[in-house]
Structure 1
C-alpha cells in the first residue's frame, strides 16, 4: 500500500502562538498553495482519501477530491489550556516539564504526544487492513511525524527531527518497509 501524507497549507495565525486543535482558517494565499499541491498529486490514483476535520485540512481535502472521510484521529495534538496562547505566556512551571518530556507529558487539559500516537496508530492499523492500493491523508505535522515514526520505527522523541513545511507531501510505501504491526 502507498500512503500519501499531505500537511495542510499555511494557517492564518501569528508566529509564536500555540495551536493544535484550534480550528484556524488558512491564509489568503491558500488557492495558490492548494493549486501547487493538487498539481503534485496528479500522478497518484487514490483509492481513498482521509482528512482531519479541522478547516485548514478540510479546505485542502476539498480541493483535492470529493469523496473524503473525515476522522478525528487525524486531529493535531490537543494543547488544552495552552491553545491560542503565545508560547512565551505559558507559565514556566507548566511548560518546562512538557519541554523536558513532550512524549509522555501532557499540556494542562490536553494530551501527550504518546496519546496522539496511540490514536494515529489506531487509525493507520485500520487503513492497513483495507484492500486499498493508494491512500491520501490530509493532516497535521504532529500526526505526520507520528505516522512516520510508526512506519520507520523511529522513537517518538526523535520524530521531530523530521522537518515539515506547510503543504509538504510525504509518501510511504508499506511494501518497502519491514514493519510488524
Structure 2
C-alpha cells in the first residue's frame, strides 16, 4: 500500500485547514507528478480523497481513480481557514487535553476520523485480492491514521497513536505500508 500526500495547497502559512477544498499551484502539481511518475508502480488501483488538492493529482496519475469521501482530512469546523495563532489558547489546550474525543472548532474528532479511515481500510482489504496493492492519494492526517490502522490498532488507539505521531509528512511524499 503506497500512501501519497497531496502537493502543497494554496493557503497562507500558519492557517488551519482540513476539510477546506483548496487548490494546488500548477507548478507544485507538475513537480509532484514528475517525482511520483518516476517512482510509483504502474497498474495498481488508485484511491483518492475527493478534495481538489488530492483529486487533481489522482486524475493525472490514473485514468480511473476511485474517489472516497472517507479519505478527506479532518473537519476543523469553525477553526477552518483561521490562523492558528487566532484560535483561543483555551480551545487548543482543550483539544490537547482530549485529542481523541475533542471536536476542534465544533468539527470532527480524531476518533470519528479514525473510524472512517478504519472503515475504508477494511473495505480495501475486502475488495483487493492483496489488499495492500493500491495507491492512496490523501492527506497527512489520513496517512498517519492509515499507518496506525495497518498495524492492527482499533480506531480509538489509532486516534491516540496518530495524534502522538510526528506531523512532518512533506507534501508530495510517499509512505509505503
TM range (shorter): 0.7 to 0.9
- Cα pair distance change 1:92/1:131, threshold 3 Å: closer
User: Matches of 2:90 and 2:167 in 1, distance apart?
Assistant: 28
User: Matches of 1:148 and 1:121 in 2, distance apart?
Assistant: 10
Q: For the aligned residues, what is the CA RMSD?
A: 1.6
Encode CA deviations 1:19-57: one digit per residue, 9 max, x unaligned.
Answer: 00001111233212221112211x3430x2110000000
Check conservation: 1:9, 1:34, Cα contact below 8 A. no
TM-score, normalisation: structure 1: 0.86
Match of 1:12 in 2: 10
Match of 1:82 in 2: 79
Once the two structures are TM-superposed, the CA of residue 14 in structure 1 deviates from its matched residue by: 1.2
Question: Greater helix share, 1 or 2?
Answer: 2
Once the two structures are TM-superposed, the CA of residue 137 in structure 1 deviates from its matched residue by: 0.7
Counterparts of 1:14-163 in structure 2, within 5 Å, are: 14-27=12-25, 28-41=27-40, 43-46=41-44, 48-133=45-130, 134-153=133-152, 155=157, 156-159=159-162, 160-161=165-166, 163=168
Encode CA deviations 1:45-102: one digit per residue, 9 max, x unaligned.
Answer: 30x2110000000011011111111111000000000000000101223222012322
Question: Greater strand share, 1 or 2?
Answer: 1
What number of residue pairs does the alignment pair up?
Answer: 168
TM-score, normalisation: structure 2: 0.88
Check conservation: 2:121, 2:149, Cα contact below 8 A. no
Structure 2 residues not aligned, in runs of 5+? none
Structure 1 residues not aligned, in runs of 5+? 173-181
Once the two structures are TM-superposed, the CA of residue 108 in structure 1 deviates from its matched residue by: 2.5
Check conservation: 1:11, 1:25, Cα contact below 8 A. yes
User: Matches of 1:118 and 1:100 in 2, distance apart?
Assistant: 20
